[in-house]
With several copies, the nearest count.
Chain A
């Protein structure tokens, strides 16, 4: 009969990214060195982890504004358990991730059982979690962390920074989960048409709970990595990170209405944002122009992606 349309969904974005990188390499040979590429992948790690997490929530048609605050809260909690000579490094790491997952689960309960708009629920969590982070730390950075803990953020393996390995691991696992597992299919169904998913026997609330909890856990992981990288638990860390993470996902082609998109696009989106930040720093563009240009490039890249499609 006729052929199925098989246009890779993020081709436009990948082209935009390639053009941008080629331009930067031409303008600044230092951009394409091994050292800087390692730099780049390290710098996108935290936003990447958050973006992978929030991809789950966005796919269901929800949103999570609490990410930035959760990064602060979980970072502070992890740091509290990470002083040298107190606990094995697994304790702070699990504490941070568990705290994030718990907050995510609370978001999930309020969205499903409470039948409230995800925007409102996670806005409340954003505010409350920030307060908790300040309370837990007394408003001051929690420092003096063990080297075992700080190595998470600063170490590397086979030349690639540890945070990047973590990002790769969660991205790969999420990709497989969303593409190949039954529950992953259900995530798309809930986001695509919630009533139809329910009528098909999908446990909509369970799916949403999983997504919000995973998103919270990823925020916890990001909080741990950040605290380890900057060697402190900062109660005022992560402000605005939620927007960067959501931006990466949306730039990567996942719809805010849910149901379409995926982790591969998210990684491209995070890379695009990372390349812009890194490239403009390398070019030493003045801060004022940097912001103007950054906005234009983001819109331009997405425009290219859109117009390639139709």
Chain B
């Protein structure tokens, strides 16, 4: 429970790294967190993990606290592109190295580990375009409006739509990343458009699962393609079972481990890469086995 209490009593051995995560009730972030814990143990460093609970303001506060505690390095899993930037600026100004993981901020950190959200949406939408041969009606479930993830995945998806004039975005609406809301939204779309919908792109797997269940219950799943992003366990299982058409794998473990490794290298003054890009991969029934 009080991880720090025990270790702070003993003499400080390894470096201390402060970590501020977007939201640990999000499965994807939980996986990053677990990978970080494992890597930290392996490298003999102590990490202090704070949960920003999706609030950029809290995130800035947490980084301020890390600075006041004089940690050796900070890993930031930004809530927002702009709004989390002051955290980066403050760390840099205080001379503490800061590594961004998973997503970017406007301010440039010491190093970046992750991938670009636009890319994930692009991969997903291109898969839809391919399956529909560039022609058909698409609906899109947005994340929480105004959040970085939603904006970037929206941008990526729209790039592909622009390139495929045959794809028509007939409806789009927010389901706030939430499975239950996505289910209701899908049910309502079924009422409005019925079988006219050819594909659903959900900006995360939770919403994709909700859409999937609603379509299955309406016995329309065989007519509609559903694609999500993140490759959470449920979604991978659904792809394996042939229920979900595809999801986009983002390597949470790889990102978490690489972030800690990079931070430790910086602290130990070893050479490190300023930008570690961990690519997305499309997961379909054909290759799902390798993601378990």
- Count residues of A near B (Cβ-Cβ below 8 Å): 46
From 173 to 206 in chain B, residues with beta carbon under 8 angstroms from any chain A beta carbon are 173-174, 178-180, 183-185, 187-189, 191-192, 206
Name which of B65, B86, B185, B233 has the most chain A CB atoms within 10 A of its CB: B65
Name which of B27, B146, B206, B217 has the most chain A CB atoms within 10 A of its CB: B146
29 CB < 8 A contacts A-B = A30-B69, A33-B191, A35-B68, A36-B68, A36-B69, A36-B188, A39-B187, A39-B188, A39-B191, A42-B64, A46-B57, A139-B146, A141-B83, A141-B232, A141-B234, A143-B234, A154-B213, A230-B86, A231-B83, A231-B213, A235-B145, A236-B147, A237-B83, A237-B178, A277-B184, A278-B65, A281-B185, A282-B65, A283-B2
Q: Nearest chain A CB to B206's CB is how many angstroms away? A: 8
Instruction: State the A residues within 8 Å of B (CB).
Output: 27-28, 30-31, 33, 35-36, 38-39, 42-43, 46, 130, 133-134, 137-141, 143-144, 153-154, 226, 229-232, 234-237, 239, 277-278, 281-290
Q: Does B225 belong to the interface (CB within 8 Å)?
A: no
Q: Nearest chain A CB to B37's CB is how many angstroms away? A: 10
* With A39-B61, A230-B180: A281-B68 Cβ-Cβ less than 8 Å: no
Q: Nearest chain B CB to A79's CB is how many angstroms away? A: 10
Q: Chain A residues with Cβ under 8 A from B276's Cβ?
A: none
Q: A229-B183, A232-B209 are in contact. List 16 more A-B contacts (CB 8 A).
A: A28-B192, A36-B188, A39-B191, A43-B187, A154-B217, A229-B57, A234-B56, A234-B80, A237-B179, A239-B55, A281-B189, A282-B65, A284-B171, A284-B192, A285-B2, A287-B49
Q: Chain B residues with Cβ under 8 A from A288's Cβ?
A: 24, 145
Q: Does B85 belong to the interface (CB within 8 Å)?
A: yes
CA distance A172 to B50 in the complex (A): 33
Q: Nearest chain B CB to A275's CB is how many angstroms away? A: 11
Closest to A293 in B: B1
- Contact between chains at A42 and B57 (CB < 8 Å): no
Name which of B62, B180, B187 has the most chain A CB atoms within 10 A of its CB: B180
Q: Nearest chain B CB to A47's CB is how many angstroms away? A: 10
CA distance A258 to B106 in the complex (A): 45
Instruction: State the B residues within 8 Å of A (CB).
Output: 1-5, 8, 21, 24-27, 30, 48-51, 54-58, 60-62, 64-65, 67-69, 80-86, 106, 142, 144-147, 151, 171, 173-174, 178-180, 183-185, 187-189, 191-192, 206, 209-210, 213, 217, 232-234, 237
Q: Nearest chain A CB to B169's CB is how many angstroms away? A: 11
- Contact between chains at A237 and B180 (CB < 8 Å): yes
Q: Nearest chain A CB to B57's CB is how many angstroms away? A: 6
B25 touches which of A30, A36, A38, A139 (Cβ 8 Å) = A139
Name which of A27, A144, A232, A236 has the most chain B CB atoms within 10 A of its CB: A236
- Contact between chains at A235 and B82 (CB < 8 Å): no
B209 touches which of A46, A134, A230 (Cβ 8 Å) = A230
Q: Chain A residues with Cβ under 8 A from B27's Cβ?
A: 139-141
A230 touches which of B8, B49, B56 (Cβ 8 Å) = B56
CA distance A43 to B183 in the complex (A): 9
CA distance A143 to B185 in the complex (A): 21
- Contact between chains at A286 and B180 (CB < 8 Å): no
Q: Number of contacts between A and B (CB, 8 Å)?
A: 195
CA distance A14 to B4 in the complex (A): 27
- Contact between chains at B233 and A140 (CB < 8 Å): yes
CA distance A138 to B34 in the complex (A): 11
CA distance A230 to B64 in the complex (A): 13
Q: Chain B residues with Cβ under 8 A from A239's Cβ?
A: 54-55, 178
CA distance A229 to B21 in the complex (A): 19
Q: Nearest chain A CB to B98's CB is how many angstroms away? A: 16
* With A143-B82, A230-B83, A281-B192: A236-B187 Cβ-Cβ less than 8 Å: no
CA distance A7 to B129 in the complex (A): 59
CA distance A232 to B80 in the complex (A): 10
Q: Chain A residues with Cβ under 8 A from B56's Cβ?
A: 230, 234, 237
Closest to B53 in A: A287
B192 touches which of A43, A154, A282, A289 (Cβ 8 Å) = A282
- Contact between chains at B5 and A283 (CB < 8 Å): yes
* With A30-B191, A226-B57, A236-B145: A143-B233 Cβ-Cβ less than 8 Å: yes
* With A28-B4, A139-B27, A140-B151: A278-B237 Cβ-Cβ less than 8 Å: no
B49 touches which of A137, A231, A284 (Cβ 8 Å) = A284
A137 touches which of B26, B146, B171 (Cβ 8 Å) = B146
Q: Chain A residues with Cβ under 8 A from B57's Cβ?
A: 46, 226, 229-230, 237
Q: Chain A residues with Cβ under 8 A from B191's Cβ?
A: 30-31, 33, 35-36, 39, 282
CA distance A259 to B114 in the complex (A): 53
CA distance A46 to B55 in the complex (A): 13
A281 touches which of B65, B144, B145, B213 (Cβ 8 Å) = B65
Q: Chain B residues with Cβ under 8 A from A287's Cβ?
A: 21, 24, 49-51, 142, 145, 173-174
Q: Chain B residues with Cβ under 8 A from A46's Cβ?
A: 57, 180
CA distance A187 to B230 in the complex (A): 48
Q: Chain A residues with Cβ under 8 A from B213's Cβ?
A: 154, 229-231
- Contact between chains at B145 and A232 (CB < 8 Å): no
B30 touches which of A28, A133, A139, A237 (Cβ 8 Å) = A139
* With A230-B210, A286-B49, A287-B49: A141-B4 Cβ-Cβ less than 8 Å: no
Q: Chain A residues with Cβ under 8 A from B48's Cβ?
A: 281, 284
- Contact between chains at B86 and A284 (CB < 8 Å): no
Q: Nearest chain B CB to A146's CB is how many angstroms away? A: 14
